[in-house]
Structure 1
Amino acid sequence: MIKAFVVEQERLRLVDDFSANRDRVVWADLLTPSRDEEDLVEDWLGIGVPSREEMEEIEISSRLYVEEGVYFMTATLPAHADDDNPVMAPVTFVLAGQRLVTIRYHEPRAFTTFPQRAEKAATGCTAGDTILAGLLEAIVDRLADVLEGVGNEVESISNSIFYARETKASKRDRDFHKLLKAIGRKEGLVSHIRNSLMTLQRLSGFLANATITPKNAKDMRARVKTLSRDVISLSDHADFLSQKITFLLDATLGMISIEQNAIIKIFSVAAVVFLPPTLVASVYGMNFDFMPELKWLYGYPMALALMVVSAIGPFWFFRHRGWL
């Protein structure tokens, strides 16, 4: 599918027929294009566009390059980033003079929100370079919102770990199981965002050296510089979130270890407390013919009292030492 946009009064307007308006189109957005649609855009640009296989190559030379004066830039962007398992796929930006072509096979939200905003208000999108700058700014804003949401959820996980309300061990175990899953999902999401920001950082550096319309050269350089700073700032924030998630993972595992040690401690103390009574019962359970206490009137109560005292003694000792 080809979404073609023209400029009217410094606003973008979506046109239905690309072929009928090809002389006016400044931005062609290709979403899962067919071979015929690729041929149509290649004829419009005068140069070939990369295939899906070429877009997925990870070498920088395959993602950022210049060919016949046309700039090709590929970045990995997330779609459905509100979920913990976003769809990550490459998006290629082709800047050919006053024209911009984007090729993608998924739907990042910025490709929906940016055209809507640029259609309602004059955003200065008059050519391919300014449209590209505005689109990249929308993408960075979206990534910032995603990281902000992750930060809030990580803070909630932190409160659940260090301010747990459950007192029953069985419920705490279920909570820890859920927390480990939540921590793993957040780490996966942050890793995807960090990868996307890394590709955008490389793209912004490459774009700073791209050919820019002389009329808007100063403004464009300032926007690209600001964009690069925003990407670096978000990368630092993503690193911070990743470190905090790692800390929460270690803390959760530590809490689980403490819970397990407490259970083992209870069993160990119980075993030691009941060991002396078991010894007394074993002694008086032996079948010897000559045992003085067997025919004693108070032999049975004495044995019971001895077992109770031998159990209370270790228990009191443990409490006195602060082990319980």
Structure 2
Amino acid sequence: MIRILTSGERKMVDVAAGAATLPADAVWIDLLSPTRSEVQSVEKALGLELPTHEEMLEIEPSSRLYQDGGATFATASLLWHSDSETPEMSPVTFVLGERVLVTIRYGEPKSFSMFQVLAEKQGVVCQSSATVLLGLLDAVIDRLADILERCGIEVDRISKDVFGRATPNGRIHTPTHAYTDTLQRIGRQQDIVNKARESLVGLGRVVGFLTISRQPPLDKAGREHLKTLSRDARSLTDHAAFIVTNINFLLDATLGMINIEQNQIIKIFSVAAVAFLPPTLVASIYGMNFEFMPELKWSLGYPLALALMVLSAVVPFLYFRRRKWL
């Protein structure tokens, strides 16, 4: 799909793949999952060689950040589908030319649709290819900030769930499925935050490369904007690292709670075994088949043995309760 934003109409319009010319006031060409014919039509119209999907997936800095044909090429992997159960990463290439900005993407980050709505409402971001790029990067970073904020709130909720399960007497009774759900929630937040952090690192490299780039040149306001974006990316990266630290702590705490729960179960079985050991001993003694046992002919021997077994079980139980082992 080829969509073009013009500075005159300020509206994204679809363009056929066979179009050989572009509108004179085009400032942004957005290629969403383009076919080979669509890429070739844009290359022919601009006189540039655009990277393929396989080239966009390469991780070498020289393959992601370079200049060619009077344009600056910068690729970053961006997070999308963050609201779903399966967040994904997708490479996005920004090609900044003197007159037009080209974006190549095979995913649909929400920040792009948000910026398209903003661009159609505010003409200031449609003045040139540079202003479109800066506005788009700003929208991407703002979206990542919202995602991290939402993750931070969810981590706080998980923390309250993990440490708020104790009953008034201090005991913890949590079903297995609750711990399973907690571990799944922790894993999902870890996945989202790590992907958001990876996106911010990539954006930081893109912004840094654009800052030192002289092809095409940016005005003073544009360079100041890039510095602001760089600071925002760094601060959000630090915030993501802080959230990851909290998530790791919650993971350790949850596993610790599971160990405590398991230890309590094992303790109950251990106490029960110790409590029933004396009655078993008494029953074993009077179950021996010796011929000469004085109590065998005693009329009170049987009830006394039963009473002795009950007493030997109750005394350890009361002792354990007094020591708060149960």
Q: Indicate whether the TM-score tops 0.5.
A: yes
1:142: which partner in 2? 143
1:319: which partner in 2? 321
Give me the identity figure in percent.
52
Structure 2: give runs of 5+ residues left out of the alignment: none
1:189: which partner in 2? 192
8 Å contact kept, 1:194–1:238: yes
In structure 2, distance between residues paired with 1:124 and 1:112: 14
In structure 1, distance between residues paired with 2:85 and 2:200: 17
C-alpha displacement of 1:314: 2.2
1:237: which partner in 2? 239
C-alpha distance after superposition, 1:127-159 (max 9, x if no partner): 111100000000001111111111111111111
Moved more, 168-177 or 282-291: 168-177
3-state SS of the aligned residue for 2:89? strand
8 Å contact kept, 1:22–1:44: no
3-state SS of the aligned residue for 1:200? helix
Structure 1: give runs of 5+ residues left out of the alignment: none
In structure 1, distance between residues paired with 2:39 and 2:13: 18
Residues 72, 213 of structure 1: alpha-carbon distance in 2 compared, 3 angstrom cutoff: closer
Residues 190, 111 of structure 1: alpha-carbon distance in 2 compared, 3 angstrom cutoff: same
C-alpha displacement of 1:86: 1.3
1:207: which partner in 2? 210
In structure 2, distance between residues paired with 1:103 and 1:90: 8
8 Å contact kept, 1:84–1:189: no
2:281: which partner in 1? 279
Equivalent runs, 1:1-324 vs 2, <5 Å: 1-8=1-8, 12-17=10-15, 19=19, 21-164=22-165, 172-211=175-214, 217-324=219-326
8 Å contact kept, 1:187–1:245: yes
3-state SS of the aligned residue for 1:93? strand
In structure 2, distance between residues paired with 1:166 and 1:190: 32
C-alpha displacement of 1:32: 1.2
8 Å contact kept, 1:84–1:186: no
In structure 1, distance between residues paired with 2:124 and 2:286: 95
Moved more, 307-316 or 260-269: 307-316
C-alpha displacement of 1:318: 2.7
Moved more, 309-318 or 248-257: 309-318
3-state SS of the aligned residue for 2:72? strand
C-alpha displacement of 1:277: 0.6
C-alpha displacement of 1:16: 4.1
Moved more, 54-63 or 205-214: 205-214
Residues 117, 166 of structure 1: alpha-carbon distance in 2 compared, 3 angstrom cutoff: farther
3-state SS of the aligned residue for 1:251? helix
C-alpha displacement of 1:4: 0.9
In structure 2, distance between residues paired with 1:149 and 1:94: 31
C-alpha distance after superposition, 1:278-311 (max 9, x if no partner): 0000111112221111111111121112112222
C-alpha displacement of 1:14: 2.2
Return structure 1 stretches of 4+ with deviation > 6 angstroms. 165-170
8 Å contact kept, 2:96–2:216: no
C-alpha displacement of 1:85: 1.9
Residues 213, 70 of structure 1: alpha-carbon distance in 2 compared, 3 angstrom cutoff: closer
3-state SS of the aligned residue for 2:287? coil
8 Å contact kept, 1:277–1:306: yes
Q: Normalising by structure 1, report the TM-score.
A: 0.93
8 Å contact kept, 2:100–2:128: yes
C-alpha distance after superposition, 1:29-51 (max 9, x if no partner): 01111222111111222120000
C-alpha distance after superposition, 1:59-85 (max 9, x if no partner): 111000111321000010122111242
In structure 1, distance between residues paired with 2:190 and 2:154: 11
- Amino acid of the residue matched to residue 200 of structure 2? L
C-alpha displacement of 1:106: 1.1
3-state SS of the aligned residue for 1:28? strand
C-alpha displacement of 1:87: 2.2
C-alpha displacement of 1:98: 2.1
C-alpha displacement of 1:95: 0.7
3-state SS of the aligned residue for 1:3? strand
- Amino acid of the residue matched to residue 278 of structure 2? P
3-state SS of the aligned residue for 2:3? strand
